């Protein structure tokens, strides 16, 4: 946990957001795998962590704006439970560390909210993403699940605070990046012909655990880098393949890192691989250098797209004017997704709160129709204190290529004959994490080797 004062201050700021009613915070539960008592590892809700810092299943809290009360609801362990779990720190004690002296049994939460509602007071809640909390809210508020309406007031107040990282949060994220860079180097050392993708994935999970972290998201470790969310890791990797590793840890306090490297399974990239790699790296550098307060992340995204197209034109895979190609969305045959997202207590920070509030603003809404842009999670104007990922890539997806080619789509920008030589190339992504500073950006954590030379040099000594 951070200091008591930290949580106090965050809650005070939230309470000063000029609202009325009750802010309701629901913690997460232990989610069953295949029966109730066989549960997935517990992960507390990030907003609950942000304002209370207590990582324990089945608790809730309220900030009562009208009566100026803050209460944590939850049950202390019974003797029967202590037999099974051992003596644990009490919720009372944890709450005090969080600066909350008022705790009540969980069963009293419903009554508290009911009383408030009967007085015509408003109960604000955040969008529930776990089904258990949808059911719980429905019970607590006496409304069908489908009629539950999360509070935009509450969401906006939370996003305004969580989006700007405190120094101690940046330190946490840098620690996550630091462990993640070591984890990536381990993965590079393990990468060799004959090993299965899944073996590397399980070794890095172990590495994270041994460093008091856990993986912030299911790692993507694949020779098929063109499969953007490849969670199947059954392939055996061979010389000539590249291995894409998109993985990061979260610290015990819940702060995430998100890094991607793509390396040759042998000691060197082929010249074809090197060419594509350097295009992606150029796009990353250009996008990174553009990062600063006041620029729209969507512009940074489009800049990266333009650089990708320029590179592909130089190889003869694309043709025509890069700016026009991007305006026509021709790059999306090779870069189908967004350039990056906010990062913090969630790897896609606050994604549960709704993209329209987190990655966009009412004045800068999302383009939800254009292929590519509709997958861009972050479009809004950057501010000092934001933490963002930058993760350009070039992906040759046979199914998509076939589809476009069958329609001869945007053939003024795509050289389908040349492209045929790359049909089975795979995909390359490179990703780093940045803090937006007052005058630009700062790479978070130690630098992880990234250029062709650095990677080939590392592999020649460690592969």
Q: Does 408 bind a copy of itself (CB under 8 A)?
A: no
Q: Does 259 bind a copy of itself (CB under 8 A)?
A: no
Only one residue has tokens 């490297």, namely 261
Q: Does 397 bind a copy of itself (CB under 8 A)?
A: yes
CB of 98 to a copy of itself, least distance (A): 19
CB of 361 to a copy of itself, least distance (A): 19
Query: Could you count the other beta carbons within 10 Å of the beta carbon of residue 140?
Result: 21
Query: Could you count the other beta carbons within 10 Å of the beta carbon of residue 152?
Result: 13
Binding mask 171-190 for a copy of itself (x = CB under 8 A): --------------------
Indicate if the alpha-carbon torsion angle 43, 49, 55, 61 is positive or negative.
negative
Please enumerate in sequence order all residues whose Cβ is within 8 A of that of 36, keeping only pairs 6 or more positions apart, or say none.
none
Number of residues interacting with a copy of itself: please give it, by CB under 8 A. Answer: 63
d(CA 17, CA 460): 56
CB of 209 to a copy of itself, least distance (A): 3
Restricted to residues 200-219, the positions that interact with a copy of itself (CB under 8 A) are: 201-203, 205-206, 209-210, 212, 217-218
Among residues 132, 138, 212, the alpha carbon closest in space to that of 176 is found at: 212
CB of 447 to a copy of itself, least distance (A): 26
Restricted to residues 296-355, the positions that interact with a copy of itself (CB under 8 A) are: 336, 345-348, 350-352
Q: Which is nearer to a copy of itself, 64 or 352 (CB)?
A: 352
Q: Does 78 bind a copy of itself (CB under 8 A)?
A: no
Structure tokens at 340: 């990056």
Among residues 97, 103, 145, 152, the alpha carbon closest in space to that of 125 is found at: 152
Binding segment (CB under 8 A) for a copy of itself, from list 126-134, 158-166, 171-179, 307-315: 126-134
Q: Roughly what angle, to the nearest 10 degrees, separates helices 271-290 and 452-462?
A: 130
Q: Does 76 bind a copy of itself (CB under 8 A)?
A: no
Q: Which is nearer to a copy of itself, 28 or 245 (CB)?
A: 28
Sole binder of a copy of itself in the list 5, 18, 68, 83 (CB under 8 A): 83
Among residues 75, 56, 63, the alpha carbon closest in space to that of 23 is found at: 63
Q: Does 423 bind a copy of itself (CB under 8 A)?
A: no
Tell me how far apart the terminal alpha carbons of the chain are, to the nearest angstrom: 40
Judge residue 1's burial from the number of C-beta atoms within 10 Å of its C-beta, 0-12 exposed, 13-18 middle, 19 or more buried: middle
Phi, psi values for residue 420, rounded to 5°: -55, -30
* Maximum distance among all Cα pairs of the chain, rounded to whole angstroms: 74
Sole binder of a copy of itself in the list 90, 115, 370, 403 (CB under 8 A): 403
Q: Which is nearer to a copy of itself, 150 or 295 (CB)?
A: 150
CB of 451 to a copy of itself, least distance (A): 29
Q: Does 369 bind a copy of itself (CB under 8 A)?
A: no
Contact 407, 240 (CB under 8 A): no
d(CA 136, CA 151): 16
Phi, psi values for residue 275, rounded to 5°: -60, -45
Phi, psi values for residue 414, rounded to 5°: -110, 130
Contact 230, 217 (CB under 8 A): no
Q: Does 232 bind a copy of itself (CB under 8 A)?
A: yes
Binding segment (CB under 8 A) for a copy of itself, from list 3-11, 31-39, 270-278, 289-297: 31-39
Distance of CA 237 to the CA centre of its chain: 27
Query: Could you count the other beta carbons within 10 Å of the beta carbon of residue 238?
Result: 13
Binding mask 141-160 for a copy of itself (x = CB under 8 A): ----x---------------
Q: Does 373 bind a copy of itself (CB under 8 A)?
A: no
Sole binder of a copy of itself in the list 104, 148, 227, 410 (CB under 8 A): 227
Sole binder of a copy of itself in the list 3, 12, 33, 314 (CB under 8 A): 33
Q: Which is nearer to a copy of itself, 185 or 452 (CB)?
A: 185
Please enumerate in sequence order all residues whose Cβ is within 8 A of that of 87, keeping only pairs 6 or more positions apart, or say none.
none
Among residues 302, 264, 308, the alpha carbon closest in space to that of 452 is found at: 264
Q: Does 40 bind a copy of itself (CB under 8 A)?
A: yes
Sole binder of a copy of itself in the list 156, 224, 366, 380 (CB under 8 A): 224
- Interface residue list for a copy of itself (CB under 8 A): 28, 31-41, 43, 45-46, 79, 82-88, 129-132, 134-135, 138, 145, 198-199, 201-203, 205-206, 209-210, 212, 217-218, 224, 226-232, 336, 345-348, 350-352, 397, 399-400, 403
């Amino acid at each position: 946990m951070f200091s008591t004062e930290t949580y106090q201050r965050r809650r005070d700021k939230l309470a000063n957001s000029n609202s009325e009613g009750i802010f309701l915070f629901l913690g997460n539960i232990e989610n069953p795998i295949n029966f109730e008592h066989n549960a997935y590892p517990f992960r507390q809700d990030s907003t609950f962590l942000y304002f209370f810092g207590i990582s324990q299943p089945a608790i809730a809290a309220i900030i009562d704006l009208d009566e100026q009360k803050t209460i944590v609801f939850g049950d202390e362990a019974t003797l029967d439970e202590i037999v099974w779990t051992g003596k644990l720190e009490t919720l009372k004690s944890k709450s005090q560390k969080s600066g909350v002296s008022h705790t009540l049994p969980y069963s009293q939460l419903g009554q508290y909210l009911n009383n408030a509602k009967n007085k015509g007071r408003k109960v604000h809640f955040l969008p529930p993403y776990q089904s258990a909390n949808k059911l719980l809210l429905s019970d607590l508020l006496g409304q069908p699940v489908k009629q539950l309406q999360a509070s935009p007031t509450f969401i906006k107040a939370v996003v305004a605070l969580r989006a700007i990282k405190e120094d101690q949060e940046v330190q946490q994220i840098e620690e996550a990046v630091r462990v993640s860079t070591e984890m990536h180097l381990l993965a590079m050392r393990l990468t060799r012909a004959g090993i299965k993708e899944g073996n590397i994935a399980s070794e890095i999970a172990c590495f994270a655990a041994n460093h008091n972290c856990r993986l912030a998201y299911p790692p993507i470790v694949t020779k098929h880098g063109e499969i953007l969310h490849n969670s199947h890791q059954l392939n055996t990797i061979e010389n000539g393949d590249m291995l894409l590793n998109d993985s990061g840890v979260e610290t015990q306090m819940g702060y995430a890192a998100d890094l991607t490297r793509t390396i040759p399974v042998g000691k060197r990239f082929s010249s074809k691989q090197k060419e594509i790699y350097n295009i992606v790296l150029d796009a990353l550098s250009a996008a990174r250098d553009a990062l600063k307060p006041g620029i729209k992340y969507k512009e940074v995204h489009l800049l990266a797209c333009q650089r990708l197209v320029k590179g592909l034109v130089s190889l003869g895979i694309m043709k025509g004017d890069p700016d026009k190609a991007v305006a026509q969305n021709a790059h999306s045959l090779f870069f189908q997704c967004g350039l990056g997202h906010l990062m913090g207590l969630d790897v896609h920070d606050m994604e549960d709160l709704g993209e329209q509030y987190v990655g966009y603003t009412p004045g800068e809404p999302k383009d939800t129709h254009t292929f590519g842009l509709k997958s861009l999670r972050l479009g809004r104007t950057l501010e000092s204190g934001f933490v963002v990922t930058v993760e350009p890539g070039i992906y040759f997806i046979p199914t998509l290529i076939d589809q476009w080619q069958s329609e001869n789509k945007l053939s003024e920008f795509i050289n389908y004959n040349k492209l045929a030589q790359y049909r089975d190339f795979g995909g390359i992504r490179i990703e780093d994490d940045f803090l937006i500073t007052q005058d630009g950006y700062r790479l978070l954590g130690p630098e992880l080797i990234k250029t062709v030379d650095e990677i080939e040099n590392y592999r020649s000594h460690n592969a």
